[in-house]
Chains A and B, each alone.
Chain A
Amino acid sequence: MMQGLPLDLIGWVFAVTLQMATPLVLAGLGGMYSERGGVVNIGLEGMMLMGAFTAAAVTYYTLNPWLGILAAVAAGGGLAAVHAIVCVKFKGNHIVSGTGIILFGAGFTTLMLEVVWHRKGYGETITNTIPDIVIEPIQNIPLIGQAFGVISPIVIFMFVATILSWYILFKTPFGLRLRAAGEDPSTLDSAGVSVEWTRAIGVIISGCLAGLGGAYLSIGFGSAFGKNMTDGRGFIALAAMIFGNWSPFGILIAGLFFGFLDGLNYAIQIYFPALLPYANFIAMLPYLLVVVALGVIRRSIPPKGIAIPYEKERKA
């Protein structure tokens, strides 16, 4: 192999890390909005699938990937709205409802895959995917050039969304209300703000972000919709959220780390075939790390009012 390989390789892993981290961070941030507001959202997987499918289908019909993105965000948000109605309005069990969302999302997208493309497994390849942005000045710098020189706008949006989420959550009245809805809903209620609406908006934002994350899989990074193409990423996003302690920058770091493990897996497959037998173990790492983090280190503290439906006190 060539001399320059290590630097190239590192740059390549860097680029793959960013690509793999994007759906995780976006969905993880989504999960954060929901859980900060006090609604457990294990249905991220279903919402991502919904986003991935809708993005692919709409782009396939309209040949415009931006419409696809828009539709994916709407579809994710729509499925999340169902979760919000069940959990917030009708005070259902969050985890049961989330399971329903996962089942429904997986079933519905596979069903519609057959309806739209008349085949099983994988839809037709989409030619008009989201175009990458080429940043000329840094393209030839080693390391950075590979990762940031040619970059998908959704990857850039991931960073923007992280900063924006931090700002929204900690610097705006809405963020304060959302956190209050998760920590101490009765206080929020006595301040005259509707707990139900605050929570519902949090859940819907979570669905929109998860939908966007799914859209990146089907028309950003990939170029077709496949059956169950999220492949557990919704759960890894959930893990990233827990690992990142329900905070935007924590989720970014955790998501990048899990993305890096994914990138490492690819690097092994291409550059170090000798290590290939152990690829499954690297894939296992994020899951095991969460178990260890929760079980042994115990530093994650979810919002206090999580999963508890808020019942307004009756007027006497």
Chain B
Amino acid sequence: MNASELSDAQKSGIGQRIENWILGLAKKVTDPSYRKQFIWSFASIVLALLVSSLIMLIAGYDPGLAYVYLAIGAFSRMDLVLYYATPLILTGLSVALAFKCGLFNIGAEGQLYIGSMAAALMGYLIALPIVIHPLACLAIGAIAGGLWGFVPGLLKAYRGAHEVVTTMMLSYTAILLTGWLVSSNGPFWDGSMVPRTPPLLDTALLPPLWGYSLHTGLILSIIAVFAVDFLINRTVLGYEMRAVGLNPDAAEYGGINSKRNIAIAMGLSGGLSGLAGSEEIMGTYGKFVANWSPGLGWDGITVAVLGNNSPWGVLAAAIFFGGLRAGGNTMHQVVGVPIEMVSVIQGLVVLFVAAPRIINWLVDNGNTIFKSMKEDPFEPSINLVSSILGLAILMLGLGMITSLYSLPSFTWINAATALVYVLVAILGVMIFIVYWSKRPDAGWFMLLAAVLWTIAGVLEIIGAGMSALTSFILAIFTFVLWLADRLIGRLLVTKKEDDIE
């Protein structure tokens, strides 16, 4: 479809426009770079879940069972999923919008607090009619949050102060400031034992939408997705912001005022965070309580990062994290895994998304191994088996540590055994890395693993542990693999020499 056709189509009726929109979406989805991004995000989630299952192993929980209940919890309570996603969409959009302009708004948390404080004040101090009141609260919340974001924006634009540092510092300032305002010494305390404001007037509350907790804020959040998408992709301001984000100097040369755009972007970003806070106060809490936010601003960073800073990506990522939270509750109730597992998963997702090259490295090396498998299956299959064994060693090493927990007393021998298992687990990772990337000097790691397993076995016997036999069997197995690796290496070298001759 070329440009003239598109503009013709845009002029004709609304059906045509929807068709165009779907076509554009389809084009976007099939676009290789978009697909690559999707694969990266998806692979990051999978890797994070895998590593989290290792952590659950250490902590002594059953990861399989935990994930099953996580999924059941998420899919059976869609209203809860959307409820958790509602503020995350807005904080995620906030971080993503700033990022489009090349800014890292790490202080969404502070803007959220300031915004929610302002909304709460508007909500209980001023009486307004039914529809106007919530709108006014939301507006004032967005403006207050926006101002809190605008300050670091100005400082960045005109004084060169790095926004990561200033927003972070202002974020803590905001939490302390709002904490003081509602404390027993502050002006907006309700007189109870808890530092909080009096409840909002009924007219200011957001009406419930579906289920127990889901409120109309969700609709607002989704409207915000459309609005930010429109702003970034369809307006002059959005275009300028993106230009500044790509290269501020080039944008300046092209006649764009980067400083003004930076300040506006930070202001808008703060406004979205403020909106998120107001929505939560008006829909869920009903009053401002000191330190109420469970890290929604921080989670916004996670959401934006996973959603690759695109509005629709943010929506998807927020729903995903909402699912994690909702499912995490079920996981906690049924399997007993603490709810903090969810933040562990989140942290790991962010770490993997931060470095897409990890996934590239995995995929590329995997490809080369499987390609060379067709030509000569001998050497690559040793690599494949060894790297899988490396992962198995990691799992077993971690599993063994948990078996030590159940021993009646914690003695020095057991501590030493645990240390050996930790070393074995680290070695397992090393073996995987070394064999997966086909390093030539890989064999020695195998031998070392065999030696460590033997030591572990001896220590288990001394310390009256239960898994001495497993350790010895693994020692023998790794030793045999080391021998095979050596022999095959030797054979290959002689074969190559024969070929040369």
* A interface list, Cβ under 8 A from B: 40, 42, 46, 61-62, 82, 85-87, 90-93, 95-97, 99-108, 110-112, 114-115, 232, 235, 238-239, 242, 276-278, 280-281, 283-284, 287-288, 290-291, 294-296, 298, 302
Contacts and interface: CB of A to CB of B under 8 A. Distances in A.
Interface in B116-163: 152, 155, 159-162
A61 B410 contact: yes
B354 A93 contact: yes
Contacts of B461: none
B355 A99 contact: no
A100 B354 contact: yes
Contacts of B164: 40, 42, 95
Contacts of B341: 107, 111
Interface stretch (B20-28, B177-185, B217-225, B375-383): B177-185
Contacts of A291: 152, 155, 161, 166, 169-170, 173
A235 B170 CA distance: 11
A91 B160 contact: no
Contacts of B491: none
A86 B350 CA distance: 11
B302 interface: yes
Nearest to A46: B347
Contacts of A42: 106, 164, 168
B interface: dominant SS: helix
B477 interface: no
Interface in B99-117: 104, 106
Query: Which of A90, A95, A298 has most B Cβ within 10 Å?
Result: A90
A185 B305 CA distance: 28
Contacts of B343: 103-104, 106-107, 110
A90 B161 contact: no
Contact of A104 (B166, B347, B415): B347
Interface of B: 55, 59-60, 104, 106, 152, 155, 159-162, 164-166, 168-170, 172-173, 176-177, 179-180, 183, 185-186, 298, 301-302, 305, 338, 340-351, 353-358, 361, 410, 412, 415
Contact of B59 (A82, A112, A298): A112
Query: Which of A92, A239, A276 has most B Cβ within 10 Å?
Result: A92
A93 B173 CA distance: 26
Nearest to B181: A280
Given A291-B166, A294-B155, A280 B179 contact: yes
Given A61-B415, A277-B185, A280-B179, A287 B170 contact: yes
5 contacts: A100-B350, A103-B302, A115-B338, A290-B169, A291-B170
A238 B344 CA distance: 23
Given A104-B348, A302-B162, 12 more contacts: A62-B410, A91-B357, A106-B343, A107-B341, A107-B345, A108-B347, A110-B343, A111-B55, A277-B180, A284-B176, A287-B173, A288-B173
B196 to A, nearest CB: 15
B172 A111 contact: no
B180 A107 contact: no
A232 B174 CA distance: 13
Contact of B165 (A61, A105, A106, A242): A242
A101 B351 contact: yes
Contact of A288 (B159, B168, B169, B342): B169
A48 B349 CA distance: 21
Given A90-B355, A104-B348, A280 B169 contact: no
Query: Which of A62, A103, A106, A242 has most B Cβ within 10 Å?
Result: A103
B415 A62 contact: yes
A107 B344 contact: yes
Contacts of B345: 107
B165 A110 contact: no
A294 B166 contact: yes
Contacts of B415: 61-62
B161 A284 contact: no
3 closest A-B pairs by beta carbon, nearest first, are A104-B347, A107-B343, A92-B355
Given A91-B355, A96-B305, A103 B350 contact: yes
B358 A108 contact: no
A108 B355 contact: no
B386 to A, nearest CB: 21
A287 B169 contact: yes
A25 B415 CA distance: 32
A294 B350 contact: no
Contacts of B186: 277
B347 A101 contact: yes
Given A103-B298, A296-B159, A280 B180 contact: yes
A87 B170 CA distance: 26
A61 B305 CA distance: 39
Nearest to B351: A100
A235 B168 contact: yes
Contacts of A95: 104, 106, 164
A90 B347 contact: no
Given A103-B343, A107-B341, A287-B173, A295 B161 contact: yes
Nearest to A107: B343
B351 A97 contact: yes
B155 A295 contact: yes
A229 to B, nearest CB: 14
Contacts of B358: 86, 90, 92
Contacts of B347: 46, 100-108
B165 A280 contact: no
Nearest to B160: A298
A72 to B, nearest CB: 15
B172 A287 contact: yes
Contacts of B351: 82, 86, 97, 100-101, 104
